[in-house]
Amino acid sequence: MILSKRYQEFQDWVRQFARKEVAPRAKELDKKEEFPRDLVKRMAELKMLGIFIPEEYGGAGLDTLCYAIAVEEVGRVCGSTGIFLAAHSSLGVFPIYHAGDEKQKSRWLIPLVKGEKIGSFGLTEPNAGSDAAATRTTARLEGDFYVINGIKRFITSGSIADIIVFTATQDPSKGHRGISAFVVEKGTRGFSYGRNEDKLGLRGSITSELIFEDCRIPKENLLGKEGEGFKVFMDTLDGGRISIGALALGIGEGALDAIINFVQQAQESGQPLKKNQWIQSMVAEIATELESARLLVYQAAQLKDVGIPFIKESAMAKYYASKVGMKATSIALEIFGADGLTDEYPVERFMRDEKLMEIGEGTSEIQKIVIARQILGK
């Protein structure tokens, strides 16, 4: 896709940052399951933690397309750093920008955008994953406080987050209309972190349990209105899926970059591997499908930027980019052969990281439900 000069310049800039500063850390972050605090600080300095947030709140004042390009380029070299950027921005920052009042924005949004605080999003529970309306975490109003009880699972950046937006129900019999959105801050009594997951991929990103035991949060921590939390979270996920699509695309492109490098140099029967017709066919297929995924991701971003509904398009972007990204990483492993299974090359990491793109922020099956409902009605 041809980007206008403004976006091309942004893409060049963020690509330079990713290649120079993120790529050299990627293998080590994965190996040591190390969260990249130094890179978070650096991204904050570069105003990358609030790319689409207006300057008045400390953001870069750019748009969703720039944000998608940034996640794509970071993901192209390091999935773990990419998922931090996506989760912090789309899931930590966005719901406060979208549903918070001015007081809440100055209290939470500005420090998140400046990188002084880390944000996170608590929706999933042990028994409420794809069926997000099945939330069992409860909120009971007692005077000026909500008393929260429940457990959240698989929360990106959970145990390192300072500000967490989460859902709880005030009346399970009301289904999604009983759910409200709240904010809890690190250190609140009754709020603690459970275990960090030992994951297949994105191992430099933290995924944790959040535990609420008679946790009292002030009434002012309600985000939006009572009973409207499900909608806040669905709107958040609609945008989040653009960034996961971008990340899935970036990881797939990372695999294609590795293939191109490898087949230029590797030899087969005295010939460069790139002369092999099967290799050529695979490279052509992957490159075409990744380009199509890029069109879907950028289209969803542009629709969001101009205020046109994009629910279907963001679900399509995530569904398709993670599917072709997974194909690209699998073919990369086939082309590399036994070399690809070792940590000498990044392709096994890309494949492990990409698998999570088909699951997080709504599985591929959920994306198909979202797309079908937009086309056929519920």
Q: Give the separation between CA 51 and CA 70, rounded to whole angstroms.
A: 9
Contact 315, 367 (CB under 8 A): yes
Token readout for 131 is 């069926």
Q: Is the CB of 27 or the CB of 98 nearer to ligand COS?
A: 98
Report, in Å, the least distance between residue 298 CB and ligand COS: 20
CA–CA gap between residue 211 and residue 166 (Å, rounded): 11
Name the residue nearer to ligand COS (CB basis): 35 or 94.
Answer: 94
Instruction: Output the smallest distance, CB 154 to ligand COS, in A.
Output: 7
Give the closest residue to 31 by CA, choosing from 298, 372, 349, 271. Answer: 349
Cβ nearer to ligand COS, comparing 10 with 319: 319
**At closest approach, how far in Å is the CB of 167 from ligand COS?**
10
| Residue closer to ligand COS, measured from CB, 21 or 238 | 238
Q: Where are the beta strands (DSSP E) in 138-231?
A: 138-142, 145-156, 163-169, 179-185, 191-196, 207-218, 222-223
CA distances from 120 to 32, 117, 135, 346 (A): 22, 10, 17, 28
**Pairwise CA distance, residues 337 & 123, whole Å:** 40
92 DSSP assignment: I
Residue nearest to ligand COS (CB): 362
Considering 28, 354, 361, 365, which one is annotated as catalytic? 361
Query: Which spans of this chain sit near ligand COS (rule: CB under 6 A)?
Result: 121, 123-124, 130-133, 176, 230-231, 234-235, 237-238, 311, 360-362, 366, 369-370, 378
Contact between 365 and 323 under an 8 Å Cβ cutoff? The reply is no
Q: Report the nearest approach of ligand COS to the CB of residue 263 (Å).
A: 36
- Residue 237 CB, shortest distance to ligand COS, in Å, is 5
What is the C-alpha separation between 187 and 336, in angstroms, rounded?
Answer: 47
Question: Running DSSP on this structure, what letter comes out for residue 267?
Answer: E
Q: Give the distance, in angstroms, between the CA of residue 352 and the centroid of all CA atoms in the same chain.
A: 15
Query: Where do we find the tokens 């790139």?
Result: 274
Q: Rank residues 287 and 369 by Cβ distance to ligand COS and give the closer one.
A: 369
Rounded least distance, CB 293 to ligand COS, Å: 19
203, 30 contact by CB (below 8 A) = yes
Active site residue 365: no
The residues that are catalytic are 361
